[in-house]
Copies of this chain bind each other. A is one copy, B any other.
């Protein structure tokens, strides 16, 4: 079964190579030990530690009401259980994607508008609907008033004057540690055939046969892994929904959000989205960009219909779900940091 699957994968890989610059070995593979680390932001223990504190610090938000972890909850799926779209007083149209293994993505956000984690953090820090800092200067004024951060920034980035870019770099360095290896799928692909249940193995075959793999391949099931011919910052986008006119249009209103065209202003980018990663998808309900679908089986059914005009049987849906559940990795234990103090003083606005 494993051998057969690999042959299929290679065929699929060869087909994909005709359409895009991707090497065949990327089609399916276990989670690599490390994501790509950008040359201008090397990982250091002190930097990761600083990013870890910043990630949990509500003082990164203008009104000191939310931290990164509020919407990307590392006690759960690294996402928000659809809560971002329900944050009172905020207008957040899109479900928060998981940060587990986000460092393996070549671009960030549903529309791929951030070419790196560093860019993604700069975006979120200043987005009026998210952390809402009025300017990079306002952010640094806030953080430099905290003696612990002032000291740590000087230690982590010696000889540079403190900047919001450093904050983004430290946060990105922390995110690059958020890896979930050794899913049942990973063990299977490494050769442990009984790591997947029969249902999950049928689901994996279906995932290939039905065409899901054409987009959901690579280390994160989200497209080509960055390499010589596909760089970090290159995005892998697909049309969603591919077919309109189904019962799902009204029910889930996917097309209320036009997708990547909002960023690029190119008509052919209407309803184009970054192909969503599938690792840990069991933990990241609700699904799709608007978080409108609460159930993975329904999400699979929808994908069959709106992407392939195909009615999956309930058996097929169940097998595909069994396969998708096998993508849940080992989630590392996270400690809650002690946030550096400003004794006897609140920095609240």
Contact = CB atoms under 8 A, between A and B. Distances in A.
A283 B343 contact: yes
B285 A346 contact: yes
A331 interface: yes
Nearest to A300: B344
Contact of A335 (B82, B333, B342): B333
A299 to B, nearest CB: 8
Nearest to A79: B346
A339 B78 CA distance: 11
A19 interface: no
Contact of A87 (B59, B65, B345): B65
Contacts of A75: 56-57, 336-339
Contact of A286 (B83, B291, B346): B346
Contacts of A343: 282-283, 296, 325, 328
B344 A81 contact: no
A167 to B, nearest CB: 17
Nearest to A337: B75
Nearest to A76: B339
A158 interface: no
A231 B297 CA distance: 54
A57 B83 CA distance: 12
A64 B88 contact: no
B58 A73 contact: yes
B64 A82 contact: yes
A89 interface: yes
A329 to B, nearest CB: 13
A155 interface: no
A337 to B, nearest CB: 6
Contacts of A285: 342, 344-346
Contact of A331 (B295, B328, B338): B338
B334 A335 contact: yes
B56 A282 contact: no
Contact of A281 (B82, B325, B338, B344): B344
Given A296-B345, A334-B336, A81 B56 contact: no
Interface of A: 56-59, 63-65, 70, 73-76, 81-83, 86-90, 281-283, 285-286, 291, 294-297, 321, 324-325, 328, 331, 333-339, 341-348
Closest A-B pairs by Cβ, 3 of them: A88-B89, A296-B344, A285-B346
